[in-house]
Amino acid sequence: MIAHEDLRAGLRGAGLAIQVGPFVVRLRSRLDRVERSVALFYDRQLLPLASAPFADFHVTLARPLGLRSVWRPQARFFLDGRSPFRPLPLAHAYPLFEWGLNWCIAQHAHDFLMIHAAVLERDGRALVMPGEPGAGKSTLTAALALSGWRLLSDEFALLSLETGKLVALPRPVSLKNAAIDLIRDRHPQAIIGPSSHDTSKGTVAHLKPPHASIERMHEQAAPAWLVFPRFAAGGQDRLQPLDRAEALLKLVGSSFNYSVVGGSGFEAAADLIEQSDCLNLEYADLDASLGLLNDLAGGPA
Amino acid sequence: MSVSEEYFALIPLPAAHVRAWGESVVVYDERCGETHVLQPPLIDIFQALQEGPMTPATLFEYLEQRYDATEGDLEDAMQAGLNQLRQHDLIRVSPESRDA
């Protein structure tokens, strides 16, 4: 843990080094809201300022210059001094950091098959949940992470091409809209940051990963369950077996870099399929679906 | 006399790029990055050709042992399957020369 003054000095100076799973992010920013969010969410992942580790990503979040910034303040994301995106309203500076970091990882981390999926673990066995937006993935992920499962990732499954295991990327879980109050009500002890309204995803607030997820970030997990959730309001919660070939196509369809990593990506994906129970989850009621997922691992954690 | 007869052969594929799962065979083609899912009767043709190159006649005999179908239906299914494998570029058709 580093003192808040040091955190501020680091952000405004040479940059704070943040350990995010296998990556080191060096972040610079003079934006107060970025400073507050980093202090809240990443306080246990900051590397000592004295050490100057190699950083995978050099990120800056700053206000663009110009008259426009006076009457409509904005935040801009820079990677290695270049800005790959349009600026967003200043109020969305922290979500912009998280989304920008997603982009950095997706563009560069080709030692992994990267899948748009949540990953959680119990007893060394990983549950991988790819999901379309609106499938309820983040809500399920948050609820599982707050009830005994170890969170490896909310958005990015990193499947090591070397070991075939899932690598943790502990970052705040992005809760959207109704899920924010739902999780807050069910888990009053959960650390949820301020809401950012009117983003491209609606209202967004981030949930801090539980300590165990951060402390065990270097532990990989073997795939055991591949579950595709689909939210079906008013439906019946159920898990149904999914044909392996279909599961593979769905899995690689959710990958950011399947076409980049070639045959080794296919082998990793196919091995994951062979090691996992492949299932569709029709999800209507959070408690019922949590029960089904917990039963996979032998009951509640 | 020399007789030339066409035969079909699978393109070489690493074993790790072919997975047989129940009623499906999944094939990854490294040359183009395509992932193909083959289902019956295509998988029977594919699996037959995994044993080695075959002429249409030997392939037909192989399928005949596995399917209870009329000769005409089986021939149609075999041709359709071969066409599909050709479209996926997973087989080569070559002339075979042998002394008769």
In chain A, where do the E strands start and end?
16-20, 23-29, 57-62, 74-79, 88-89, 112-122, 125-130, 150-153, 156-160, 166-167, 173-176, 196-199, 202-207, 222-231, 238-241, 277-283
Confidence (pLDDT) at A69? 65
Question: What average pLDDT does the segment A205-218 reach?
Answer: 95
- For A53-73, letters b (16+ CB in 10 Å) and e give eebebbbbbbbeeeeeeeeee
Among B28, B33, B37, the residue with its CB nearest the CB of A245 is B37
**Chain A residue closest in CA terms to B24:** A245
When divided into structural domains, chain B yields a total of 1
pLDDT tens track for A114-152:
999 999 999 999 999 998 877 889 999 999 999 999 999
Nearest chain A Cα to B29, which residue? A263
pLDDT at B74 over 70: yes
Domain with B26, as residue range(s), is 2-99
Which pLDDT score, from 0 to 100, does residue B4 have? 61
Contacts of A266 in chain B (CB under 8 A): 17, 28, 35
Structure pTM? Answer: 0.91
- What is the residue-averaged pLDDT of chain A? 93
Residue of B nearest to A259 (CA): B33
Residue B17 DSSP code? G
The per-residue pLDDT for B19 is 97
CB < 8 Å to A273, chain B? 19, 21
Instruction: Give chain A's length.
Output: 301
Tokens of B90: 């997973």
CATH of the domain at B57: 3.90.930
Report domain extents, chain A. Answer: 4-108, 112-296
- Long-range pairs, A60-68, Cβ under 8 A, ≥24: A60/A15, A60/A27, A60/A28, A60/A29, A61/A27, A61/A28, A61/A29, A61/A31, A61/A34, A61/A93, A61/A96, A61/A97, A61/A100, A62/A29, A62/A30, A62/A31, A63/A31, A63/A90
H or E element that contains A182: helix A178-186
Reported ipTM exceeds the 0.95 cut: no
